[in-house]
Amino acid sequence: VPVLLFVAAPYIRRYVAGGRCKSTARLEGKVVIITGANTGIGKATARDLAQRGKCSARVIIACRDIAKGEAAASEIRAETGNQQVIVKKLDLADTKSIREFAEKFLAEEKELHVLINNAGVMLCPYSKTADGFEMHLGVNHLGHFLLTFLLLECLKQSAPARIVNVSSLAHHGGRIRFHDLHGEKSYNRGLAYCHSKLANVLFTRELARRLQGKFQRQVGFTANALHPGSVSSELVRHSFVMTWLWKVFSFFLKTPCEGAQTSIYCAVAEELDSVTGQYFSDCQPAYVSPRGRDDETAKKLWSVSCELLGIQWD
């Protein structure tokens, strides 16, 4: 058995690694924002996008921990030679921070070509954001919903542009519980994560529908979601059991670089220039749960999200 495992190991790893982004698209002169890019797949995504072209993209690492962000940016600048990898403060658990980030970005930058809503929390004990939203819903969905809203006009004016939402296979286990969105009546942190990932899929679907029409067809303004795979990262840090399991079974998990491939694919692949409202895994279209294809729920979630955030997004 040990011999068989040794022989099979490279094939198992190749299978676990999944699809790779084969696009060689260059990003000269482009501006990219990646939330949560100080670690994990966000950092790996930033590294890849930062080295696409001689005159590389301006990659903005938007994260809560500035010290970790600066360390990641310094590492990426050294590895890629791209000195335009910069860090900006963004706390998705606080709408004030989100608005401040957007205001500063719009004051300093003229264009935005790719927005990758990558940051997320998972398996948090029950807690709320600064605005009273359940943490998973607040960070994973509402925070990115508001950020996208605030940057949308800049994206439109910079088009062709792409919005990439990092969701998860876990959306299959989610449902939008409008009667108890913030888990005050009942709370399960595993299901709360699933609910928020379903919200990512529904947000992407409704956003793409709203972007479609004459404008979208002319300039290729797209929004897509993805499942990165089971990745060895800090995402499970709130669960001792999951952290232990992740270490024990790390051989069967994707590395951050492998997990970033579908994010990169959605951000740069030429064949996706006019593809919008879709869900990908391993750099190819993937199955969406029936709840993730429910247009009425998507529209209602959009409306409720706007109401919670105090915005009008028609």
Q: Are strands 279-281 and 114-117 parallel, antiparallel or unpaired?
A: unpaired
Q: What is the pLDDT of residue 17?
A: 72
Q: What is the mean pLDDT of the chain?
A: 90
Residue 1 falls inside a structural domain: yes
pLDDT digits (tens, 9 = 90+) for 192-209: 999 999 999 999 999 999
Q: What is the pLDDT of residue 242?
A: 54
Is the model's pLDDT at 235 over the cut of 50?
yes
Residue 295 falls inside a structural domain: yes
Q: 240: exposed, middle or buried (C-beta count within 10 Å: 0-12, 13-18, 19+)? A: exposed
Name the nearest CA neighbour of 112 among 207, 218, 211, 32.
32
Q: Is 193 a catalytic residue?
A: yes
Q: Are 93 and 65 in contact (CB under 8 A)?
A: no
Q: What is the pLDDT of residue 252?
A: 56
Residue 314 falls inside a structural domain: no
pLDDT digits (tens, 9 = 90+) for 103-150: 999 999 999 999 999 999 999 999 999 999 999 999 999 999 999 999
Q: What is the pLDDT of residue 246?
A: 47
Q: What is the CATH number of the domain that holds 112?
A: 3.40.50.720
Name the nearest CA neighbour of 15 among 282, 286, 287, 285.
282
| Number of domains into which the chain is organized | 1
Residue 27's contacts (CB-CB under 8 Å, 6 or more residues apart) are 49, 52, 53, 56, 57, 113, 114, 268
Domain range spanning residue 109? 1-309
pLDDT digits (tens, 9 = 90+) for 19-29: 899 999 999 99
Residue 43's contacts (CB-CB under 8 Å, 6 or more residues apart) are 37, 61, 72, 76, 256
Is the model's pLDDT at 224 over the cut of 70?
yes
Place 1 in a pLDDT band, splitting at 50, 70 and 90: very low
Q: What is the pLDDT of residue 286?
A: 98
Single-letter amino acid, residue 249: F
Phi first, then psi: give them for residue 137, nearest 5 degrees. -65, -40
The residue assigned the tokens 């956003």 is 207
Catalytic choice (193, 265, 279, 287): 193
